[in-house]
């Protein structure tokens, strides 16, 4: 019931929502109200409209500009070629396993590419994720509130977070499934019949072939939920400890079974040595800065300007305020679901602050947790029976925040994809030729929390059906393929590849096995001259963010290490580069530096 007072002092109270007031003759104001069912319909239609707008940002782009996505599309082409025994990849790659904790994306793309082009298949997969994420969050929220709750809208602007733009689609799909399963557990954990158990275990299996972190967070949630419900029953004094465990023996058995299945499966893909599992050389974790970044949402947004984060910060602030008001109003008498959501979100917040950057050979491990912190915080606020004004405020701010986020994403995606036209429109290289992706800077472009150009060259390799000599991550046990005959380029990052290329340049090696190079990052003044001496000429379409350099037959060998100076340098520039080469060729030199970074002295 919502009370309000008219200008004449009359107090009205109805099961309605006040939307707008305006001066009119006689009364001075009139009130537009909606009954609860109509308002719920409005929230439902708003959520669907925002979902469509979010998906349109992806569908209208020529490609989805993610950091790792181009490599995954390239690997799908390799896997299909190896499975069908066709194409040029058999001599360079081989399949090491078809079922790993990272295989769902590849299977989905293999199926989609049977009917659609690769770039469209990737965009459709991202749209499927958007739908799954929003519906999973809606299912979770509606497990603890009424249907078509305004709190559902609060999760929509977070679906296209930084990890989606990083290209971590397996993880992102796992997040959507984890949210759905958390809601499923809340609804049915007391009456888990055969059908419910089958759904639970089937979804768990799908999660096990997406990413292990969503599985761990889901198991953490159900464990905390079980303990919270048990503690509430014991605190009420209606049951003894033995009776409480006996009444919950079915859910407990399911939890133990799921944890055992997950632990057994994931143990097959864990690095055997501790030094390989956790990077012991990683710098000390600055938990204070991480906590501040997480509260500012810097760890979750793909675009860093404050204008992008402003609406999202308002949503998180309203959710926090709703939690505080509800806690004060009900004196901590929260439901088991609300307690589990708050505790799971708090644990994920703490994990982001303390876990190392590398785990089991994979980077960006802390970044897997902030999205869970945000989503469980919002869901906990919805479950805490907040005041009606908080629910209306969260719905209104969600409409504003999502609209702003969608417009900013559309503007940024349009700009990025225009710069990617170099690799999308260039004529393909020879089928089966070997190339390299190199980079001149490790910093992402200004205003972005990801680098959409880092592996964008993989689009060109896929279109050319060429061999990506420094194909990444193939040493990880979760990737389906590996190099047949590893060489000096195998598994190198673009920066390491540029360093090794500088070694070859200094040693007089023209690396004739490479037919072309894709450059990521702005080209310095001497880059074209250096690559020309190595035997490559720039494509006329080259831009500031990406460039392609193809082998030209007139230059196939560098005469000698000390005379192989780019001929466009002046006398002083040649002396500086000669000094650099002399130092590089000394036996005591142990650190290889990027040729392009060192050459910045003559720019």
Q: What is the DSSP string of 459-523?
A: HHHHHHT-EETT-TTTTSTTSSEEESS--TTTT--HHHHHHHHHHHHHTT---TT--EEEEESPP
Residue 360 banded pLDDT, cuts 50, 70, 90: confident
The whole-number pLDDT of residue 163 equals 95
- Average pLDDT on 40-59 reads 90
- Counting Cα atoms < 13 Å in the Cβ hemisphere of 72 gives 27
Determine which helix (DSSP H) or strand (DSSP E) holds 374, and give its type and residue range: helix 370-383
Residue 367 DSSP code: G
- Average pLDDT on 248-258 reads 93
Comparison of pLDDT for 588 and 113, the residue scoring more = 113
The torsion angles phi and psi of 268, rounded to 5 degrees, stand at -70, -15
Q: At what angle do helices 169-188 and 118-141 cross, to 10 degrees?
A: 30
**486 vs 467: CA distance, rounded Å:** 13
Closest Cα to residue 355, out of 367, 345, 346, 344?
367
Q: Are 527 and 440 in contact (CB under 8 A)?
A: yes
Distances in whole angstroms, Cα of residue 99 to Cα of each of 103, 202, 268, 431, 478 = 6, 15, 11, 29, 9
**177 vs 473: CA distance, rounded Å:** 25
- Average pLDDT on 50-78 reads 95
- Counting Cα atoms < 13 Å in the Cβ hemisphere of 1 gives 5
Reported pTM: 0.85
Q: Who's near 185: CB < 8 A, 6+ residues apart? A: 200, 221, 222, 225
The whole-number pLDDT of residue 565 equals 43
Token pair of 191 as six digits: 């009456």
Q: Are 151 and 394 in contact (CB under 8 A)?
A: yes
Residue 89 banded pLDDT, cuts 50, 70, 90: very high
Percent of the chain with pLDDT over 90: 55
Q: At what angle do helices 306-330 and 388-419 cross, to 10 degrees?
A: 160
- Average pLDDT on 61-69 reads 95
Residue 104 banded pLDDT, cuts 50, 70, 90: very high
The whole-number pLDDT of residue 86 equals 87
Q: Are 562 and 467 in contact (CB under 8 A)?
A: no
Comparison of pLDDT for 180 and 589, the residue scoring more = 180
Token pair of 531 as six digits: 């690559």
- Counting Cα atoms < 13 Å in the Cβ hemisphere of 361 gives 15
The whole-number pLDDT of residue 441 equals 74
The whole-number pLDDT of residue 533 equals 78
**Interval 260-303: pLDDT, tens:** 999 999 988 886 544 444 444 444 567 888 899 889 999 999 99
Residue 173 banded pLDDT, cuts 50, 70, 90: very high
- Average pLDDT on 549-566 reads 55
Comparison of pLDDT for 285 and 208, the residue scoring more = 208
Query: Residue 235 pLDDT more than 80?
Result: yes
Which range (117-121, 139-143, 221-225, 498-502) has the least confidence?
Answer: 498-502
Residue 345 banded pLDDT, cuts 50, 70, 90: very high
**Interval 440-495: pLDDT, tens:** 777 888 899 999 999 999 999 999 999 999 999 998 888 999 999 999 999 999 98
The whole-number pLDDT of residue 502 equals 81
Query: Residue 561 pLDDT more than 70?
Result: no
**192 vs 110: CA distance, rounded Å:** 35
The whole-number pLDDT of residue 50 equals 92
The whole-number pLDDT of residue 36 equals 62
Residue 357 banded pLDDT, cuts 50, 70, 90: confident
Query: Residue 21 pLDDT more than 50?
Result: no
As a three-state string, the secondary structure of 291-317 is: HHHHHCCCCCCCECCHHHHHHHHHHHH
Per 3-state DSSP, what percentage of the chain is helix, strand, and coil (rounded to 5)? 55, 10, 35
The whole-number pLDDT of residue 260 equals 95
The whole-number pLDDT of residue 457 equals 94
Residue 526 DSSP code: T
- Average pLDDT on 406-434 reads 94
Comparison of pLDDT for 91 and 376, the residue scoring more = 376
Query: Residue 554 pLDDT more than 80?
Result: no
SS3 for 231?
A: helix
**Interval 491-542: pLDDT, tens:** 999 989 988 888 888 888 878 889 999 998 876 655 667 787 777 888 888 8
Comparison of pLDDT for 593 and 482, the residue scoring more = 482
The torsion angles phi and psi of 91, rounded to 5 degrees, stand at -80, -5
Comparison of pLDDT for 286 and 160, the residue scoring more = 160
Closest Cα to residue 558, out of 511, 515, 489, 503?
511
Evaluate the CA torsion angle 86, 88, 94, 97 in order and state its sign.
Answer: negative
**57 vs 213: CA distance, rounded Å:** 27
Query: Residue 11 pLDDT more than 70?
Result: no
Helical spans, DSSP H, in 151-271? 162-165, 169-188, 194-208, 212-236, 241-247, 249-266
Determine which helix (DSSP H) or strand (DSSP E) holds 548, and give its type and residue range: strand 546-551
Indicate the burial class of 249 (C-beta count within 10 angstroms; 0-12, 13-18, 19 or more).
exposed
The whole-number pLDDT of residue 526 equals 54
Query: Residue 29 pLDDT more than 70?
Result: no
Query: Residue 107 pLDDT more than 60?
Result: yes
The whole-number pLDDT of residue 224 equals 96
Query: Residue 600 pLDDT more than 50?
Result: no
The whole-number pLDDT of residue 559 equals 42
Query: Residue 564 pLDDT more than 70?
Result: no
Partnered with residue 30 across adjacent β-strands are 22
Which range (138-142, 224-228, 377-381, 382-386) has the least confidence?
Answer: 382-386
287-305 burial, b for 16+ CB within 10 Å, e for fewer?
eeebbebbeebbbbbbbbe
- Average pLDDT on 541-550 reads 89
Closest Cα to residue 293, out of 367, 224, 242, 364?
367
How much is the mean pLDDT over the chain?
A: 82
Which range (186-195, 540-549, 561-570) has the least confidence?
Answer: 561-570
The torsion angles phi and psi of 548, rounded to 5 degrees, stand at -120, 135
């Amino acid at each position: 019931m919502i009370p309000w007072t008219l200008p004449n002092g009359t107090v009205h109270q109805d099961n309605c929502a006040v939307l707008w007031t305006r001066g009119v003759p006689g009364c001075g104001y009139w009130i537009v109200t909606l009954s609860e069912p109509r308002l719920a319909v409005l929230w439902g239609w708003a959520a669907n409209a925002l979902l469509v707008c979010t998906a349109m940002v992806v569908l209208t782009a020529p490609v989805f500009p993610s950091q790792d996505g181009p490599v995954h599309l390239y690997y799908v082409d390799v896997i299909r070629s190896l499975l069908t025994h066709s194409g040029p990849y058999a001599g360079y790659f081989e399949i090491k396993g078809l079922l790993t904790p990272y295989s769902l994306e590849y299977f989905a793309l293999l199926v989609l590419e049977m009917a659609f082009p690769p770039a469209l298949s990737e965009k459709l997969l991202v749209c499927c994720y958007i739908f799954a994420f929003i519906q999973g969050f809606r299912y979770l929220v509606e497990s603890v509130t009424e249907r078509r709750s305004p709190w559902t809208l609060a999760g929509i602007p977070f679906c296209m977070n930084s990890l989606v733009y990083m290209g971590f689609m397996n993880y992102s799909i796992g997040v959507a499934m984890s949210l759905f399963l958390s809601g499923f557990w809340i609804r049915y954990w007391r009456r888990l019949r055969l059908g419910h158990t089958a759904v639970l275990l089937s979804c768990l299996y799908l999660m096990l072939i997406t990413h292990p972190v969503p599985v761990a967070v889901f198991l953490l949630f159900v464990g905390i939920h079980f303990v919270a419900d048990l503690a509430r029953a014991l605190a009420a004094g209606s049951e003894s400890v033995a009776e409480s465990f006996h009444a919950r023996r079915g859910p407990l058995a399911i939890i133990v079974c799921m944890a055992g299945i997950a632990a057994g499966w994931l143990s097959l893909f864990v690095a055997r040595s501790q030094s390989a599992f956790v990077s012991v050389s990683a710098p000390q974790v600055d938990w204070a800065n991480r906590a501040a970044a997480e509260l500012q949402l810097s760890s979750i947004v793909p675009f860093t300007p404050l204008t992008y984060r402003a609406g999202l910060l308002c949503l998180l602030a309203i959710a926090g305020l709703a939690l505080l008001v509800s806690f004060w109003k009900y004196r901590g008498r929260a439901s088991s679901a609300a307690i589990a959501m708050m505790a799971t979100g708090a644990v994920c917040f703490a994990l982001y602050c303390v876990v190392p950057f590398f785990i089991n050979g994979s980077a960006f491990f802390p970044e897997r947790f902030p999205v869970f912190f945000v989503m469980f915080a919002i869901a906990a606020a919805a479950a805490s029976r907040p005041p009606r004004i908080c629910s209306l405020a969260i719905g209104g701010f969600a409409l504003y925040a999502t609209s702003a986020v969608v417009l900013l994403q559309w503007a940024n995606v349009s700009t990025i994809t225009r710069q990617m036209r170099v690799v999308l429109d260039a004529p393909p290289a020879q089928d089966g030729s070997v190339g390299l992706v190199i980079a001149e800077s490790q910093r992402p472009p200004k205003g972005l929390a990801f680098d959409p150009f880092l592996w964008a060259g993989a689009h060109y390799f896929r279109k050319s059906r060429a061999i990506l000599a420094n194909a990444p991550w193939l040493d990880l046990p979760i990737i389906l393929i590996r190099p047949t005959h590893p060489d000096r380029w195998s598994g190198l990052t673009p920066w390491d590849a540029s360093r090794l290329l500088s070694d070859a340049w200094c040693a007089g090696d023209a690396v004739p096995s490479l037919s072309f190079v894709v450059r990521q990052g702005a080209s310095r003044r001497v880059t074209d001259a250096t690559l020309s001496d190595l035997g490559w000429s720039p494509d006329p379409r080259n831009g500031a963010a990406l460039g392609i350099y193809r082998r030209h037959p007139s230059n196939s060998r560098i005469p000698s290490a000390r005379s192989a100076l780019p001929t466009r340098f002046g006398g002083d520039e040649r002396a500086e580069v000669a000094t650099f080469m002399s130092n590089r060729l000394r036996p005591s030199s142990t650190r290889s530096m990027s040729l392009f970074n060192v050459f910045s002295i003559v720019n």
